[in-house]
Amino acid sequence: MEVLATPFVDRVKEARDILDVHVRDMVAWHFDPNTGCPFWLAFAEELDFDPRREIGGYSDLKYLGHFQDEWLRGGPVRRWIPRGSEEQRTYVFETGGSTGVPKYRISQNDFQIDYEMFSEHLSEETFPKGADWLMLGPTGPRRLRLAVEYLCQIRGGICFLVDLDPRWVNKLIKRGALQELELYKAHVIDQALTILRANDNVKCMFTTPKLLEELCEKVSLQKAGISGIFCGGTEMNAQFNRFAREELIPGIDFVPTYGNTLMGLAYSKPLEPEDNYAITYYPPVPRAFIELVNPNNPDEEVDYDETGRVMLTTLTKEFFMPRFLERDEAERASEKSGFILRVARICCRWGVLNWADRLSYQGNPNSRQKVENGRTRVLVVALPKSFVPRCTW
């Protein structure tokens, strides 16, 4: 396929148009009295304009201000259920809760959509259909448990679950109860070992970096029959990526991921030698979108090689969250690949995060055709004041 036939400026315009159309669709849904949720309908009553008329694209979301953290802390959570989908089964998920009352997010199908998309990127050789899974990590009120279990099920497997409560871990650490912490850690790992020893069909896993390291001190996962592991957590970076591949689980397919309750799931591209173990993620654009902004002036995007605050926008029918200022900071880096490209390099927690996806060159917004790496890959198109990539899911 010849991907350079379309002028670059046309591809930039196409990407921008696709995002703007998606923004208009989501604004129309969430501010329509027949389909919107009580929160956004009440919010609109306090405005002196109709968002459905005045918001024509992503850049116009600034007229709504910044989504506030406290809006998601506490109830009633039903105020977030869109009228257009109120008959659907509804879940509620929580964030980590490390800063007091956790943020609550309702969900209906988003976590399933995210993990169906992620499933398409898993190798059928190392994550074989019909294999059972072990989910070793935070379950409880988080979406992670249901999401991983759903991923296992759509691939024909049964998911075994071992919970780790990070809130309890944080409490133990804060009061210096290191002996209790070691006992709790041993309790969690022992449950995982029991499952692996008793169930030969467990071939795939999800876990966090710290739990993976602890588990590998007790067992060879390759000898235990594990062929594929996808892994996510705040400790995921280039150093751990190399440590895992070279020392912890050589010979096992290792798939880093980034996700959270508010954004969804970002998958990582296959590792190449020139990456030097840095991790490149592709988030679910246009369902979620990010900018790096001046911490002192969030209406101003930072320049290349400068550190900015992460501003996240989530755009689905279930959840509309415009311009939310995360606590995390990131460095904006530039990359040359035949064109001027822009990537967001998340340096505080997650390794490297390229907030983009590949462009579809077929002119079809619904195209699911993948564009291969190499000269056909476009990470981020250069647009004034915002990233506007075109995802090919």
Per-residue pLDDT tens for 216-258? 999 999 999 999 999 988 778 889 999 999 999 999 999 998 8
- CB 390, CB 359: distance < 8 Å: yes
The Cβ of residue 377 has, within 10 Å, a number of other Cβ atoms equal to: 17
* Confidence band for 209, pLDDT divided at 50, 70 and 90: very high
Percentage of the chain exceeding pLDDT 70: 79
Task: Write 189-194 long-range contacts (CB < 8 A, 24+).
Answer: 189/214, 189/215, 189/218, 191/162, 192/134, 192/136, 192/162, 193/218, 193/219
* Confidence band for 1, pLDDT divided at 50, 70 and 90: very low
Range with the largest mean pLDDT of 138-147, 182-191, 301-310: 182-191
- Average the pLDDT over each of 69-78, 230-239, 244-253, 326-335 and give the range with the smallest value: 326-335
- Once rounded to an integer, what is the mean pLDDT over residues 350-378? 30
Question: pLDDT value at position 12?
Answer: 61
Q: Is the peptide bond before 76 cis (omega within 30 degrees of 0)?
A: yes
Question: pLDDT value at position 266?
Answer: 80
Question: pLDDT value at position 184?
Answer: 95
Range with the largest mean pLDDT of 158-162, 307-311, 324-328, 335-339: 158-162
Q: Is 292 exposed, middle or buried (0-12, 13-18, 19+ CB in 10 A)?
A: buried
The CATH class of the 110-262 domain is alpha beta
pLDDT at 67 over 80: yes
| Residues in Cβ contact with 46 at an 8 Å cutoff, skipping those fewer than 6 apart | none
The alpha-carbon radius of gyration of the chain (Å, integer) is: 21
- Once rounded to an integer, what is the mean pLDDT over residues 50-68? 96
Q: Is 338 exposed, middle or buried (0-12, 13-18, 19+ CB in 10 A)?
A: exposed
Question: pLDDT value at position 7?
Answer: 54
* Confidence band for 18, pLDDT divided at 50, 70 and 90: confident
Does the predicted model carry a pTM greater than 0.85?
A: no
Partners of 301 in the β-ladder: 293
Helix or strand (DSSP H, E) at 294: strand 288-294
Report DSSP state, residue 302.
Answer: P
Question: pLDDT value at position 289?
Answer: 84
The span from the CA of 309 to the CA of 301, in Å, is 9
Q: Is 238 exposed, middle or buried (0-12, 13-18, 19+ CB in 10 A)?
A: middle
Per-residue pLDDT tens for 143-188? 888 999 999 999 999 999 999 998 899 999 999 999 999 999 999 9
Question: pLDDT value at position 236?
Answer: 83
Q: Which residue has the higher pLDDT, 304 or 67?
A: 67
The beta-strand segments (E) located in 108-185 are 132-137, 159-163
Burial 294-325 (b: 16+ CB within 10 A, else e): eeeebeebbeeeeebbbbbbbbbbbbbbbbbb
**Token output for 180:** 């209790």
User: Domain locations in the chain?
Assistant: 110-262
Q: Which residue has the higher pLDDT, 141 or 204?
A: 204
Task: Specify the residue for token string 């200022």.
Answer: 325
- Once rounded to an integer, what is the mean pLDDT over residues 135-145? 86
- Once rounded to an integer, what is the mean pLDDT over residues 111-126? 93
- Once rounded to an integer, what is the mean pLDDT over residues 45-71? 96
pLDDT at 82 over 90: yes
Question: pLDDT value at position 35?
Answer: 98
Per-residue pLDDT tens for 104-117? 999 999 999 999 98
